[in-house]
Each structure stands twice: as structure tokens, then as C-alpha cells.
Structure 1
Amino acid sequence: MVRLVGVDLPRNKKIAYALTYIHGIGLTSAKQIIELAEIDSDTRVYDLTTEQTVALRQTLESTDLKLEGDLRRFNGLNIKRLSEINCHRGKRHRASLPVRGQRTRTNARSRRGAKKTVTGKKK
């Protein structure tokens, strides 16, 4: 089992796809990291040698990417700042509504949660 930046990488996946399990690393940056560490992209996680694992760790430390906890904290503080200055985006975050201008009359179910049926008024 390979553990990088506090994340256990899945054993049976290719190393490029396994690195995307780390918060802050997408497929493009994963491929760049593998190139810098000089590891073959077809290598599976269970085939990694200890030298390759050490090279991956050093490459991740030397990059200027924010990963895992640092990135989560950074994003959380940005959202908290928006909420504290009482701007429109902050209010939308607080109300659990879409932040980037999407419509809410229909759709927006993933952000607003399951439907809450309101009974119709009787005349």
C-alpha cells in the first residue's frame, strides 16, 4: 500500500489515475508529476519500487501545488471570507443555493437537496 500526502492510493490502478485520488491533483498535473519523477506511466501502484515511491514523495514536496489539507483549508477560508463580508456569493453559500448564477426555479437539485413537497392551498 502506497501512502502519499496522507492518502492511500488504490493498488490496482495505473499511477497517473491513482494520483488523482489526492485532493488538488488532476490528471494533467498527475502526468507532469510522473514525468518529473521519471516513472513509466503504465506502471501500476502495486509495481512501484521503494525508490520510485521516494521519488514521487520528493516530487510532490518540491512542487508548488497546494494539496489535501492545505487546499481544503484555503478554499474554506475563501468561502468564510465571502460569507463574513456579506457579499452575494457569501449569502448564496450560506443559503446552500447555487453560487454562480444558475437558475433555481427548476433543477439545482444537487445543491438544494431532495424535493420538499409543499401542499397546495384549498380555496
Structure 2
Amino acid sequence: MVYLLESKLPENKSVVFALQYIYGVGKTRAVLICKKLGFSTNLKVKNLSENQIVQILSLINSLNLVLAHDLKKLKAGLTKNLVSIKSYRGLRRVRGLPVRGQRTHTNARTARRVRK
């Protein structure tokens, strides 16, 4: 197993799809990273050399991307800020109700169930 930024990358997947296992890296960023490094779309994680893994890490650091633990902390901080200033969105978060204007009369069972 290859570990990058606190994430396990599956060995049998191609690098483009394996990079998406890192929190904060989606399809667009994964393709961008592979294109900049010149990796084939068929290159598997198990075929990566140590040098290529170091190249991936150095490229991610040079792009100044907020990923993994830092991104989770940032999102949690933004949510705490909404709650602390008692905005509408923050109050809805605290009550476990839908935040983005969805109806609650007949729906929102999942929102209430998930957030508690």
C-alpha cells in the first residue's frame, strides 16, 4: 500500500483514480497532477517508483493545495464560526435541520437523522 497525505491509495487502481482517495482531491485536480507530471492514464499505483511518489508530493506542495487534515480543520472552523455568530445557517446546523433552504414539512428526515 502507498500512503500519501494520510490516505491509503489502492494498488490496483490507476493513479488518476487513486489520487481521488485523498481528501480534497477530485477528478479535475487528479487529472491536472497526472498531466503536469506526464503520467499515463493507465499507470497503476503499484507500478509507481519511489521517485514518482516524491514527484507527486512535491507537486502537491508546490501547488499550495489545502488537503486532508488541514482542509477538514478549515471546514470545521468555518462551521464553528457560523454557529458562534448565530447566523441562520449556524442555527440550522445546531438543530440538525437542512441548511440550504430545503423544505421540512414532509422531507428532511435524513437531515434530522444524520446530523444527530
Determine whether 1:22 maps to 2:30. Answer: no
Query: SS at 1:8's partner residue?
Result: strand
For residues 43 and 109 of structure 2, what CA distance do their matches in structure 1 show? 40
Q: Which runs of 4+ in 1 moved over 2 A?
A: 106-110
Any unmatched runs of 5+ in structure 1? 115-123
2:77 corresponds in structure 1 to 77
Go from structure 1 to structure 2 and tell me whether the alpha carbon gap of 1:42 and 1:113 turns closer, same or farther (over 3 Å shift).
same
Output the amino acid matched with 2:19: L
For residues 53 and 32 of structure 2, what CA distance do their matches in structure 1 show? 15
Instruction: Return the index of the structure with the highest Cα Rg.
Output: 1
Matches within 5 A, 1:1-123: 1-113=1-113
Q: Which moved more, 1:77-86 or 1:55-64?
A: 55-64
For residues 56 and 110 of structure 1, what CA distance do their matches in structure 2 show? 38
Q: TM-score, normalised by structure 1?
A: 0.87
Q: TM-score, normalised by structure 2?
A: 0.92
For residues 50 and 23 of structure 2, what CA distance do their matches in structure 1 show? 23
1:121 corresponds in structure 2 to none
For residues 70 and 84 of structure 2, what CA distance do their matches in structure 1 show? 21
The answer to whether the 8 Å contact 1:39/1:52 transfers is no
Identity %: 39
Task: State the Cα RMSD in Å.
Answer: 1.3
Output the amino acid matched with 1:59: L
For residues 104 and 19 of structure 2, what CA distance do their matches in structure 1 show? 35
Any unmatched runs of 5+ in structure 2? none
